[in-house]
Copies of this chain bind each other. A is one copy, B any other.
Amino acid sequence: MNLRELRFEFEALLTDYVECLDEGRLEEWPEFFSERGVYKIIGRENVEQGLPLATMFCDSRAMMKDRVTAIRKALFYSPRYLRHLTSNLKIVGQEGDAWMAQANYVVFQTLQDEGTKVFNAGKYIDKIVLEGGKYRFKEKIVVYDTVQIPGLIVIPI
């Protein structure tokens, strides 16, 4: 498969991923990862300063499922809509069986009786593997620009 075909596939993966989040199907979210996949949300400032402190960290699908359960239990705040846009997907290399890819994203949030605002913007840094005919994230690092994350509960981005 050439780079053009691969980029097509990874764009499709990203599209399914953000659709899952936009539609709030959180229970399906861990399925986008390998069994021992890593998911990390980390501030751009921390990345640039080499600080390891992450806003959210999971290193297995089981841990992600726990996270979803916790979010479902805690979600008492006002209903809202999320909408992701992604662009500029780029395949940057290979590492073992994984493809390294990155993309820019922005998430818009609409709260009841408010306009639509930027919730979070940043960059996905992904390692993608093919497992049983399906592309999955072996690692997904969300590096966000947005210093203040609104709301108390951290949700997947």
Contact = CB atoms under 8 A, between A and B. Distances in A.
Given A106-B108, A117-B118, A85 B87 contact: yes
A28 to B, nearest CB: 16
A83 B114 contact: no
Contact of A81 (B11, B44, B86, B114): B44
13 contacts: A7-B8, A12-B90, A14-B88, A44-B81, A83-B122, A83-B123, A83-B145, A85-B86, A85-B106, A106-B116, A108-B121, A113-B148, A116-B146
Given A12-B90, A22-B104, A108-B118, 12 more contacts: A4-B8, A16-B90, A83-B104, A85-B86, A85-B88, A85-B104, A87-B87, A108-B121, A113-B147, A115-B146, A115-B148, A115-B150
